[in-house]
Amino acid sequence: MSELDCIDRNILRELTRDGRMSNLALAERVGLSPSACLRRVAALEKNGVISGYRAVLAPEKTGIGFVAYLAVGLSVHTKQAQESFERAMKLAPQVRECHNITGTVEYLLRVEVADLPAFKEFHTDVVGVLPELRSMQTYVVMGSPKDERA
């Protein structure tokens, strides 16, 4: 796909805010006819710019009362150790995000659980038993004044 123009960027911004809005409402907001808007959205989907649509959930309504970020360092810096760690994180439903990062640690995890005891269980019985684990630093989320994840 060629470079995104300002209309494409406006479409993406509006769909990020509300992925369920009708094509008619979207076309109105970005200043296009409904048919032109539909063609652009279809092209953005076909070219992989839009890779899917998701529901934004209310954590308190789904039993999530505790959110933390874990900075995880590995003791072994091999491809095998990374793949093993990543497999374990993919299997852990508490891990909502797993990012391989640069810096003093290798991974940043977003962990969502019901409460502190559930987090302790995850910390001890899921991450704490991994043979490639060197270190964990926990950052508890106390509030999220801005969160645009979808």
Tens of pLDDT, residues 63-73: 999 999 999 99
Contacts of 69 (CB under 8 A, 6+ apart): 108, 109, 110, 111, 138, 139, 141
**If you average pLDDT over residues 13-37, what whole number do you get?**
96
Q: What is the mean pLDDT of the chain?
A: 95
Residue 129: pLDDT band (50, 70, 90) is very high
pTM of the model: 0.82
> Tell me, what's the pLDDT at 150?
66
Domains of the chain: 6-46 (1.10.10.10), 59-140 (3.30.70.920)
> Tell me, what's the pLDDT at 81?
96
Strands (E), 31-77: 66-74
